[in-house]
A and B are shown apart, each in its own frame.
Chain A
Amino acid sequence: MSQGDTHTTTPAPDALELRTVVEARHVTLGFDADPVLQDVSFTVTRGETRILLGPAGVGKSVLLKLANGLLKPDKGSMMLFGEDTRAIPEGELLTLRARTGMVFQEGALFDSLTVRDNVGYQLLQDRGISDEEVDTRVREALKFVDLERTFSLYPSSLSGGMRRRVAIARALINNPELILYDSPTGGLDPVTSTNIIELIMKERDLHATPSMMVTHRLQDAFMLCTHRFDADAGAMVKLPEGQADASTTFLMLEEGRLVFDGTLHELVHSENPFVREFLE
């Protein structure tokens, strides 16, 4: 291997740091003395989609909440945009979080607000943005998730799948630099799940927004790897046999410990008994 090759495949530390959006360094967290996560380390770089796999109750959602500082580690450090979430006060964390978007397990829409006010929530807090601009941007975000007609409705009148899509629109409206999806397809029927995955793929392929997605549904995870969004066709298309999206990689948790970190190819060829059992 030539010197030139080495430089292109291994970025200099500073360059890597600049590209890193989230970095977990030996993160440990417990609730009431019960350890939930133990010594977890990983990174999310710009343009990368990381899928967190694992059975229910292994700490996937907790890890996601640690990533944007909603929870803070007991030990180790969680770096968000280069800032240690444990070291900075809540006020500064709020500013950092405003640069991210998060889709919660059940949507977590504000049930007393209309879809317009939910999606535009972040913009409405900014007094410098006019109502007309909020309306325009809300309609754009709703168009992205194909739910323009729900503009004036309340969350209670939406189906489960529609709520998730509204939650995605809310997470995307401020052009986040990181998106966190917490089981976005959990509890949905296969058709709706595919629609949600298509939206996540659309955001990944059109805007290259780095993201972390928690799921225990392998079919969703594999679909994200084996498909790409075709902007011209306005739909996802399957990649040629044997190819996978290079920016989409996997993390797997087993009882609070990270047991796998790698690509789809490495995942399906892993010799780790837990990974094998999970896949089978």
Chain B
Amino acid sequence: MTIVTNRLDRTAKQLVLTVQEYSLFAWQAVVNLFEPPVYWTDFLIQSDIIGVGSTSIVLLSGFFTGAVLALQSAATLAEFGANGLTGRFVSLTMIRELGPVLTGVMVSGRNASSMASELGSMIVTEQIDAMRALGVDPMRKLVTPRLYSTITMLLFLTIIADAFGILGGGFVTVFLNHQNGTQYFSTAWEALRYPDVIQGLVKPLFSGFIIASIGCFYGMKTSGGTEGVGRATIQAVVSASVLIIFMDFIMTHILLSLLGTG
């Protein structure tokens, strides 16, 4: 019994310590932007890697998610004689929920893992220590550019995912369900209100923060050689993905209350 209690005690303390370390880490990464030196070149490089590099997976996943939504909804809507509302259904679902969440999860799988493994490898090969020994702050040089570029690029990637999701739904509606394309796109457009768009564009800012801060955090606290790098990568992807979905729930609740679309 004592062993179990001790283990629980240790785990709880470890969890609190990790949350504290993460909070300080994320805060430091955020405030570094407001004090020189700021490495803008690294910001642009990371924006290219994270943003441009993730475009294809976001574009494809958005397109096929929209297509599946159109396929699934068409049958149900037909039962109520509401075939013409497919466009409205797809656009609202993509813009409010699936666009931000799917993009977040896809980018997390690609970039939180790459950040954790890249920084983790740099830790175990003493490259981070070498950077500090050369008088360069790794938080400013490596973490802050990744954080802000992920936040910025995730916003644009979500817009791309939304657009291609609606396009995918349109493709299914026209070529598989043989419905009117003009009706699909006009209902998709007319259904949208500003609160929907705001909801869809606020979430990626938080997802981007989660992806980069979690990926860099686990990377920078890697220990235990190459095995540790693998462990850090897994922890980063799992934590970031779960947190994105949790954040989506919280943000949806808050934004629905604030914007009144519920």
Contact = CB atoms under 8 A, between A and B. Distances in A.
Contacts of B129: 65, 70, 104, 108
B133 interface: yes
Interface in B106-124: 122
Interface residues of A, number: 25
B125 A94 contact: no
A37 to B, nearest CB: 17
Interface in B122-156: 122, 125-127, 129-137, 141
A94 B128 CA distance: 13
Contacts of A108: 125-127, 129-130
Nearest to B130: A108
Given A90-B137, A94-B137, A105 B132 contact: no
A125 B133 CA distance: 13
Contact of A94 (B122, B130, B132): B132
Contacts of A180: 133
The residue among A65, A94, A106 with the most chain B CB atoms within 10 A of its own CB is: A94
B126 A110 contact: no
A98 B137 CA distance: 11
Mostly helix, strand, loop or mixed at chain A's interface? mixed
Contacts of B37: 125
B125 A102 contact: no
Interface string A100-131: 11101110111100000000011001000000
A65 B129 CA distance: 9
Contact of B135 (A98, A105, A111): A98
Contacts of A248: none
Contacts of B141: 125
B38 to A, nearest CB: 11
Interface of A: 65, 68, 70, 90-91, 94-95, 97-102, 104-106, 108-111, 121-122, 125, 170, 180
